[in-house]
Structure 1
Amino acid sequence: MKLIDAVLSVLGGYTTAGIYNALRGYTDDVYLDPELDIALVTGGANGLGSNLVKKLRECSIPVVVLDLEIPESCIDGVYYIKCDLSVREQVLDAAQVIQAEIGDITILINNAAITQGKSIVDLSYSEIENCLFVNLLSQFYTVKAFLPGMLKLGRGYVVIVASVMAYIGPAKLSAYAASKSGLLGLFESLTYEVGPNADVESGIRTLLVSQGQMATNLFDGVQNPHTFTASVLDSSNVADRIMLALSRGEQGRITMPTYAKLMPIMRVLPRSMATIVRYWSDIDRGMDSYLGAQYPRNGQPKGSRQNSTK
């Protein structure tokens, strides 16, 4: 698996996804349109979100970023709005400003996420709630805020960045895994309400991203003892794959790297077999070396960062 992932990484996200789409019969028609589209990326100040913002701007798409941080070097054509995504009122206030001053969002990329590397006994109630609010409930807030505009235009893309942790909950990641599992339900229900599988064609496309560990700072210190079978992803390559999907109008699910495609099987394995796999993979000991993201701003607890990485 490592060899396959290495080859695909060398080829680059666009080339790799291009081969994939060609095999699936996707055309060369480009869905993204700078004249029609405005993108919003949550947690777009760093990590995967920052890479997506840069690549959207390379396609001349206007971009809005909602994040607790405003980067020191702002990208031309990007509107940065400081927003605590765990607070519904701040999200809705930001949505009003965007709609009044920028326009209707047609590409919504829900990327923001935080985590804490603690056992459920050691987690405070506020840490549990904050994780669920940022990772899960904020995506409901943004979808509720911007979906009506998409339906009005008959054009829209909702991208939900989840994680392989949606399918398997490691020790010391209870709140994070629970929030990511909740996103599976949101994606499936939304797809059948307004997406390509809805009874009435709405023009809304839905995309779920379930990626493995990336080389970003959300999981600082977490060691991967099995890089041969579970390679660590470059967030730029993940952004390339998402961008290729957006440009082709692809719908459904993106799951990467190779091992991540096997994660849903863990839920149906007998307990004895699942225990063996978990022991061999060291997945329940990975957070033992977690350093915690330094994030003192706005009273956020150490270990929090509005940035999706795993």
Structure 2
Amino acid sequence: MIEREIIHTTTASKRIFDVLQDFVQFLLLFLRIFLEMFVMLIQKVLPKSLKDISGEVVLITGTGHGIGRELALHYASLGSTVVCVDINEKNNLQTVQKAKRLNLGDVHSFICDVSKREEVQALADRVKTEVGPISVLVNNVGIMPTHPILQQSAEEIQRVFDVNVFSQFWTIQAFLSHMEEKNRGHIIALSSIAGVVGLSNLVPYCATKFAVRGLMEALHEELREGPYKNMIKTTTIFPYMTNTGLCKHPKVKFPSILGLLDPKEVAMRIVEAHRSDTLEATIPSCLLHINNWTRLLPDHCGLMLKDYIDSGVESDLI
């Protein structure tokens, strides 16, 4: 009887201790969150501190035109060694020639279909031999068929996933070892505002861009918990519609506020996000905050706001 009372008392004491311990941990968590929010507020007011990237070896996919080309030029202008990768040899060489005229960072051209895993593995070996291990990977390449889901062929859907999603898996797997060798690195992925909000005529494209967001969030967590914590960083970018030719029939209700973005401006913002170690960024920056707050409202409120903005793409089959 006495032994049972002792066991009961011991069990009750342990439960009380566990509850108090959980409560203290919660208070510490709340305090840490409050301090982090305070620090972020101060950082918003103070000028951004941008790290020097002149010694980095930056590999960019899809450098033949558009944002990829502007990224190559911008990184080269900052003194980085730039590895330009594209499936179109002629366009890629034009980018390299433009970048070399800057007479700053070294620039290299490699031809590869990054949707094919074997080609990406071979590319990683060639780059390591001819240039050296890379320290920054920018997954920029993407395609965007724009018509209703029932008019999307099986081949189109497969291709958009191969290029927009699986290519990022293949490059991360192939080049992560380069960064591990250097004990530092940065992986930058281009999602899209279509990876934050679903849009008509873009069902497969939106699915791929939402997938990129999930891929990068999980990758960041894996790197954060693994042996390379704080050594290999990630950044996910969600640009609004950009004037690269990818949006064949853009629909814009307020062109003075939400008109098509300039690829040069987008590239500059991407590099800025890289240099400030930003985890996620929309371009313009306000769109991520608008989306986050809208998701807290009832569903119909978000739909009313979307209808009011009325931006997206028309079918390219019209």
SS at match of 1:260: helix
1:138 to 157, 167, 175: 167
Contact kept in structure 2, 1:168 and 1:266, CA below 8 Å:
no
Deviations 1:106-146, CA, capped at 9 Å, x for gaps: 01000111010111111111100110111111111101100
Provide the C-alpha distance between the structure 1 equivalents of 2:159 and 2:189, rounded to a whole number of angstroms. Answer: 19
Which residues in structure 2 correspond to 1:212-251 (within 5 Å)? 212-248=240-276, 250-251=277-278
CA shift at 1:230, angstroms?
Answer: 2.0
1:281 to 309, 313, 318: 309
Structure 1: gaps spanning 5 or more residues: 1-19, 293-310
CA shift at 1:22, angstroms?
Answer: 6.8
Structure 2: gaps spanning 5 or more residues: 1-41, 101-105
Task: Kindly tell me the number of residue pairs found equivalent between the two proteins.
Answer: 266
Contact kept in structure 1, 2:146 and 2:315, CA below 8 Å:
no
Q: Partner of 1:271 in structure 2?
A: 299
Cα 1:291–1:102 change in 2 (3 A) is farther
Which range moves more in the overlay, 221-230 or 125-134? 221-230
Q: Partner of 2:121 in structure 1?
A: 92
Cα 1:207–1:258 change in 2 (3 A) is closer
Q: Partner of 2:4 in structure 1?
A: none
SS at match of 2:198: coil
Counterpart AA for 2:278: Q
Q: Partner of 1:307 in structure 2?
A: none
Which residues in structure 2 correspond to 1:59-138 (within 5 Å)? 59-70=78-89, 71=91, 73=94, 74-75=96-97, 76=100, 77-138=106-167
Percent identical pairs in the alignment equals 27
Provide the C-alpha distance between the structure 1 equivalents of 2:303 and 2:180, rounded to a whole number of angstroms. Answer: 45
Tell me: higher relative CO, structure 1 or 2? Use CA pairs within 8 A at least 6 residues apart.
1
Q: Partner of 2:58 in structure 1?
A: 39
Provide the C-alpha distance between the structure 2 equivalents of 1:241 and 1:275, rounded to a whole number of angstroms. Answer: 29
Contact kept in structure 2, 1:231 and 1:257, CA below 8 Å:
no
Contact kept in structure 2, 1:48 and 1:236, CA below 8 Å:
yes
SS at match of 1:41: strand
1:256 to 275, 278, 283: 283
1:170 partnered with 2:199? yes
Q: Partner of 2:45 in structure 1?
A: 23
Give TM-score scaled by structure 2 length: 0.76
Deviations 1:271-305, CA, capped at 9 Å, x for gaps: 3223322322324xx4326479xxxxxxxxxxxxx
Cα 1:275–1:160 change in 2 (3 A) is same
Deviations 1:150-208, CA, capped at 9 Å, x for gaps: 0121110100111111111111101110000011111111111114x757535111111
Counterpart AA for 1:252: L
1:158 partnered with 2:158? no
Question: What RMSD over aligned residues (CA atoms) do the two structures have, in Å?
Answer: 2.4
Counterpart AA for 1:287: V
Cα 1:198–1:227 change in 2 (3 A) is farther
Give TM-score scaled by structure 1 length: 0.78
Cα 1:258–1:188 change in 2 (3 A) is closer
Larger helix percent: 2
CA shift at 1:85, angstroms?
Answer: 1.9
Q: Partner of 1:182 in structure 2?
A: 211
SS at match of 1:90: helix
Counterpart AA for 1:61: S
Provide the C-alpha distance between the structure 1 equivalents of 2:210 and 2:237, rounded to a whole number of angstroms. Answer: 12
Q: Partner of 1:54 in structure 2?
A: 73
Deviations 1:34-92, CA, capped at 9 Å, x for gaps: 2xx21100111111110110011112211112211122523323222221222222212
CA shift at 1:25, angstroms?
Answer: 6.5
Q: Partner of 1:208 in structure 2?
A: 236
Provide the C-alpha distance between the structure 2 equivalents of 1:223 and 1:185, rounded to a whole number of angstroms. Answer: 27
Counterpart AA for 1:33: S
